[in-house]
Amino acid sequence: MKIALRSFLRVLCLLCGGYFLSASPSPPPIFGFTARSSSAERASERRFLKLPSADKARDAHAFLTSEPHVAGSPRDRALAEWMRDRWREAGLEQVDIVEHEVLLPYATDVEVELIAEKKRRWRASLKEDPIPGDPATSRDVGVPYHAYSASGEATAPVVYAGGGNPADYDWLAAQGIDIKGKIALVRYSVPYSYRGFKALTAERRGAAGVIIYSDPADDGAGKGKTFPDGPWGPESHIQRGGIVYDFLVPGDPLTPGWASVPGARRIATKDAISLPKIMSVPLSWKDARPILQALKGPQAPREWQGGGGFSYHVGGSDAAAVRMRVRMDDKVRPIWTVTGRISGTRHPDELVIVGNHRDAWVYGGVDPSSGTASMMELVRSLGALPRPKRTIVFANWDAEEFTLTSSTEWGEQHESDLAAHAVAYINVDSATSGPSFTASAVPSLNRLITEAAEAVIDPMTGRTIAAATRAAGPRVGSALPTAGGSDLVSNRLGSGSDYTVFLNFLGVPVIDMSFTGPYGVYHSIYDNHLWISKFGDPGFRYHAAMTRLWGVMALRLANADIVPFECAPYAKRIREFVDEMAARAPRDDQSALSRLVAAAERFSKAADAIDRAVDRELHSTAIDERRSQSLSRRLMQVERAFTDRAGLPGRPWYRHLIYAPRPTYAPEVLPGVAEALDAGDRARMAEQAGRVAAALERATGLLTAK
């Protein structure tokens, strides 16, 4: 009976096309789908949404975090093999471990010794204290270090330089304190700024070395209760991390722009622009405190005072010197990307790519194992469904923590295939450190993300993720500065995770998302299974929610009749970016921007027109296969049109002309123009504005082509 009624309705739908459904109380069609295929999609999503399991995510997470698994280690390899086997069991095809050999130095020796007043010596422990009841914290996990620190040794007076930004050194210079030849002590900052920028700044100012420490005001006791009583960092927690200059070029520093496949050409280390020339060491608050307390000299400005409960001074004299020593082994090591796919039935050559990295600084409770556990559930759940129309490619990256390494090498290796066939890339690095949804993406994907967030339930409130996020109001204290975007999505993309090669090198539309919350144990031994179980996601329900969101987005991209990209929001955002440049440019330089302003206008008109054409096609009684494929193909190439093979001045690997990261990882829009404006270089500004205008004209040409 039920079946008979349903097929009767289906026939009726066929006869009446979209009109029948729009008259019924059923929800409006999903963007990218006709009314008819939209109801089929919703039916398959209902099936999908039941599959992700919080308990299974917990089990995967416990296993992934049971041992440290830094990139290139035996445990990292073992997890890659475990993952490969699970993916095969889940029914994925072409499951493989892809190996790249890359420069991946480990530290063999790190020492920091304070020499205060005559002969009094004190040595930093470089250890994190064990916590009763958390056996993971009582193991020896090796010496903490900054990846790609230079090797060396120096003994020099210490200068406290606040956040280690250029303005901080300017302030010191104004007090007559020269950093040259001295050791800079700077703090990790909130809001986030990439530690590599702190290293670069210290290097440029001529420091002999830099120490970056965690101040309790930023992520420790000054914020709230510390682990195991709360989510913040205990006084001995150490934030490891890369300091490589990947805002110049990410991936293997010795193969910039090409893949580290066997036999690949390698440049000399001295020619690698992404390698720091300065020594850098991370310190816990527990180890940094005695150094800060020993500093004399002028009192540090108010904004530099931290949560230590004493007055911070800037030092700079022989009264407090440090001997620091770093030895890196400078080895080339293998790293492993796990890939697999579910081949599409209709358009198998069109690729929707989903990715997460596997390597962790230690256990990687949040970063990245929460994302990896969500991905395992994604594979299991999508593997159980009928095949989509387009192919879904799954990638589990390695050495993200070093310099976005395996995603970059893989992207470079498959450049021509991806340029021709990639639809979009969805990145989940850390799936959850709390319940607040954050997403950044190119503006053409705002609608896809928003609709997916309306289709998935927020575990805590029982409302949709979209409703819960809107009710929570504007995000504060997120990891990277955000602005603009639709209400759920930031359209300011910087860097700091594996989407970079897709957006900035290949011109593939990207989404990066996470659930976030108070999190003070980043890259430390305390970022582990117990932390997640107590604070990040008790119950692992947000792990499963992330799997649902990720899966709904991937399915919609893979099944849509016309790829769900909306051009008008992109055009609107670009006009805003152009207006920002115009507001910054001196009056005499405005004419140099006029071609860009006109190109943005024309792109805007073309975007409106193609959005209308897509809408017409999706609402027509019978969708025309040839027309819809032509629309999809053109929409897929728009992002590519924003790239230019010559790249940005000084960093040719970064080819996208709308987006690039600043050295802090903060987003920069229209980077070529913005940097020329910063430099006060009128000729370069005009040239760069012309290149962006040409890119917009290419995109307009694509959209208006018949």
Which positions lie near Zn ion, rule CB under 5 A? 367-368, 429
Residue nearer to Zn ion on the CB measure, 156 or 511: 511
**What is d(CA 620, CA 99) in angstroms, rounded to the nearest whole number?**
48
Reference 440, options 515, 492, 504; nearest CA is 492
From the candidates 400, 639, 668, 675, give the one annotated as an active-site residue: 400
Q: In whole angstroms, how close is the CB of 357 to Zn ion at the nearest point?
A: 6
Please report where in the chains the tokens 């910039």 appear, as a residue: 256
Q: In whole angstroms, how close is the CB of 150 to Zn ion at the nearest point?
A: 24
Neighbours of 39 (CB within 10 A): 19
Q: What is the dihedral angle through the alpha carbons of 301, 302, 307, 311, rounded to the nearest 10 degrees?
A: 60
Supply the DSSP string of 388-448, one letter for each residue: -SEEEEEEEES-HHHHSHHHHHHHHHTHHHHHHHEEEEEE-SS-BSSSEEEEEE-GGGHHH
Measured CA angle at 342 (ends 340, 345), to 5 deg: 150
Residue nearer to Zn ion on the CB measure, 32 or 365: 365
Q: How far is CA 197 from the centre of its chain?
A: 17
Q: In whole angstroms, how close is the CB of 486 to Zn ion at the nearest point?
A: 25
Q: In whole angstroms, how close is the CB of 640 to Zn ion at the nearest point?
A: 27
Cα–Cα distances in angstroms (integers) from residue 117 to residues 45, 121, 289, 294, in the given order: 69, 9, 16, 9
φ, ψ at 576 (rounded to 5°): -60, -45
Residue nearer to Zn ion on the CB measure, 496 or 672: 496
Residue nearer to Zn ion on the CB measure, 215 or 429: 429
Query: Terminal CA-to-CA distance of the chain, rounded, Å?
Result: 48
Q: How far is CA 569 from the centre of its chain?
A: 22
**What is d(CA 399, CA 72) in angstroms, rounded to the nearest whole number?**
7
**What is d(CA 383, CA 556) in angstroms, rounded to the nearest whole number?**
16
Q: In whole angstroms, how close is the CB of 341 to Zn ion at the nearest point?
A: 23
**What is d(CA 607, CA 623) in angstroms, rounded to the nearest whole number?**
21
**What is d(CA 57, CA 416) in angstroms, rounded to the nearest whole number?**
35
Q: In whole angstroms, how close is the CB of 373 to Zn ion at the nearest point?
A: 13
Q: In whole angstroms, how close is the CB of 497 to Zn ion at the nearest point?
A: 6
The answer to whether residues 17 and 621 touch, using CB atoms and an 8 Å cutoff, is yes
Q: In whole angstroms, how close is the CB of 360 to Zn ion at the nearest point?
A: 8
Structure tokens at 157: 């007076």
Residue nearer to Zn ion on the CB measure, 212 or 404: 404
Residue nearer to Zn ion on the CB measure, 429 or 644: 429
Supply the DSSP string of 611-661, one letter for each residue: HHHHHHHHHSSS--HHHHHHHHHHHHHHHHHTB-TT-BTTBTT--BSSEEE
- 495 classed as catalytic: no
**What is d(CA 174, CA 184) in angstroms, rounded to the nearest whole number?**
16
Reference 84, options 74, 73, 72, 98; nearest CA is 98
Contacts of 456 (CB under 8 A, 6+ apart): 49, 464, 465, 545, 548, 549, 552
Residue nearer to Zn ion on the CB measure, 426 or 703: 426
- 656 classed as catalytic: yes
Residue nearer to Zn ion on the CB measure, 369 or 482: 369
Residue nearer to Zn ion on the CB measure, 41 or 367: 367
Structure tokens at 147: 């990846």
Residue nearer to Zn ion on the CB measure, 159 or 404: 404
**What is d(CA 656, CA 660) in angstroms, rounded to the nearest whole number?**
7
Q: In whole angstroms, how close is the CB of 430 to Zn ion at the nearest point?
A: 6
- 594 classed as catalytic: yes
From the candidates 24, 311, 591, 594, give the one annotated as an active-site residue: 594
Q: In whole angstroms, how close is the CB of 87 to Zn ion at the nearest point?
A: 20
Neighbours of 594 (CB within 10 A): 12
From the candidates 430, 524, 656, 668, give the one annotated as an active-site residue: 656
Residues, the chain = 706
Q: In whole angstroms, how close is the CB of 523 to Zn ion at the nearest point?
A: 9
Structure tokens at 396: 């589990």
Residue nearer to Zn ion on the CB measure, 41 or 429: 429
Structure tokens at 359: 């390597």
Active site residues: 400, 594, 656
